Structure 1
Amino acid sequence: MKNLLSLKDRTILITGAGQGIGLAMSKLAIELGANVGGVDLNADGLNKAADELGSSFTPLIGSVSDQVFAQHAVAQLVERYDAIHGLVNNAGIIRPAMIEKMTSDQWQQVIDVHAAGSFYFTQAVGRHLIARAKAGEGAPGAIVNISSDSGRRGSIGQINYSAAKSAMFGMTMSAAREWAKYSIRVNAVCFGAVETQMTETIRNDERFRDQYLQQIPLSRFASPEEVSMPVLFLLSDSASYITGQILSVNGGYTIAV
């Protein structure tokens, strides 16, 4: 029987791959048979990941908020592997501040990485996937955008992050509608609190941690490894009829029809 979760002979581009969830997704994708192009601004982290993951991992050092870099990264990966079959827009930063105290730089930096960066890579990879579809090279591929519960519910002290993560919903649904005719699938995954550096304040401060855990029916935080699995599922043939959807992976923190 065919393994529908296999990513054998496919090339996946993952942004924010130098640590945390991006690194976990890279490892899992390679275990499932894929080659991975990992994008990160953190050269040390990305090179360390390359040493760990071996020849199936190609480090692509640069900022996702640089549109020219996005185009070059896609071209470099296509040159090495002939094609790209999947994209995960995962790169992210936080610049916390209350609304009345937030600077324009704090606002713009987060918007540039999450919203603009995801658009630049979606556009660059999408152009490649469309060309493959027009050339009749089979089902061209899939894109997964990483969003957050903050985009659904808002987040105190992070209006920039919440706004950027809400933007991922519109980007996902619009791209899914535009590119369905090319059999390009586009979905989003909404994470809750995952055990990464970005959530250390919530997880290590008793006041925040206990209050947050009380709202999670599964009563625990997620590991980077377990939230990676639904993302890779959406890139695989198991999700061949799923597009334009927003999947919550948050232990039940948000439950809705």
Structure 2
Amino acid sequence: MKQLVDFSSRTVIVTGAGQGIGRCAAQLFHDLGANLALIERNAETAEELRGSFAKERTLVLVGSVTDREFVEKSVATVAGQFGGVHGLLNNAGITRTAMTDKMTADQWQQVIDVNLTGVFNCLQAVGKEMIERNKAGDANPGAIVNISSDAGRRGTIGQINYGAAKAGVLGLTMSAAREWGRYGIRVNTVSYGVVETEMTEVIRGEKFRERSLSSIPLGRFLKPEEAVNSVAFLLSEAAVHITGQHLSVNGGSHIGF
């Protein structure tokens, strides 16, 4: 029987691969047989990553997704070494928390640069590489998953920059899916609720914990190693004919059409 979620001989780029969801995704794709290209801006973390995965199947690239030249060169390097890029997990993100009336221009711009423009930079560079291979005869050039959040679908308190960026990611997904469907490229979003990572420590803390849990019908927060299963599904052949969609992985905290 064919294994649908199998990444043998496929190459996946994971941005923000040093911790949390990115790190768990890298481990999962490694275990599923993928060649890995891990983008991480922290040099020390990147060095630790190099020793964690099979050397012959792993590239670690140090830089920021906000740097278009770095992103373009990285995609070219990955494609040259592994023969193409078949999957992208657009995961890199930051938070800069402040109430709307107190948010500085720098706090706004930093989050927009990483969480929206950075996602576009990676989406565009990988999409171009996939289009080239499709034109050369590859009918199944690959798939892209952009990470969004419930904050981008219903708003959030103290993170208007983050909410705006994550809402923008939904638009990137839908537009790219419409444009690139003719090339066989699928583009989808995973929108998370509360995942147990450093970025959600405040709302999982004593002050907000009960309130946060009360809004989740399944009654618990999501572990990062659980969260990445949805990404593997959408990047795999199991998700054939699924594109332009926003998959909510939030325990039911956001339910709607």
On whether the aligned pair clears a TM of 0.5, the verdict is: yes
Q: Secondary structure at the match of 2:130?
A: helix
Q: Secondary structure at the match of 1:53?
A: coil
Counterpart amino acid of residue 20 in structure 2: G
Offset at residue 68 of structure 1 (A): 0.6
1:104-253 residue pairs with structure 2 within 5 A? 104-204=105-205, 206-253=206-253
Whole-Å Cα distance in 1 between the matches of residues 87 and 23 of structure 2? 16
What is the TM-score when the length of structure 2 is the normalising length? Answer: 0.98
Q: How far does the alpha carbon of each residue in 1:24-52 deviate from its partner, in whole angstroms, 9 at most, with x for none?
A: 00000011110110111111112212211
Counterpart amino acid of residue 226 in structure 2: E
Whole-Å Cα distance in 1 between the matches of residues 96 and 58 of structure 2? 30
Structure 2 unmatched ranges of 5 or more: none
Whole-Å Cα distance in 1 between the matches of residues 36 and 48 of structure 2? 14
Q: Structure 1 residue 100 and structure 2 residue 91: aligned?
A: no
Whole-Å Cα distance in 2 between the matches of residues 208 and 30 of structure 1? 35
What fraction of aligned residue pairs are identical, expressed as a percent? 54
Whole-Å Cα distance in 2 between the matches of residues 138 and 16 of structure 1? 29
- Number of paired residues? 256
Counterpart amino acid of residue 53 in structure 2: L
Moved over 3 A (4+): none
Structure with higher helix content: 1
Whole-Å Cα distance in 2 between the matches of residues 158 and 180 of structure 1? 33
Q: Secondary structure at the match of 2:5?
A: coil
Q: How far does the alpha carbon of each residue in 1:162-217 deviate from its partner, in whole angstroms, 9 at most, with x for none?
A: 0000001100000000000001000000001111111111112x221110000001
Offset at residue 138 of structure 1 (A): 3.0
Whole-Å Cα distance in 2 between the matches of residues 221 and 44 of structure 1? 29
The equivalent residue for 1:8 is 8
Q: Structure 1 residue 38 and structure 2 residue 41: aligned?
A: no
The equivalent residue for 1:61 is 62
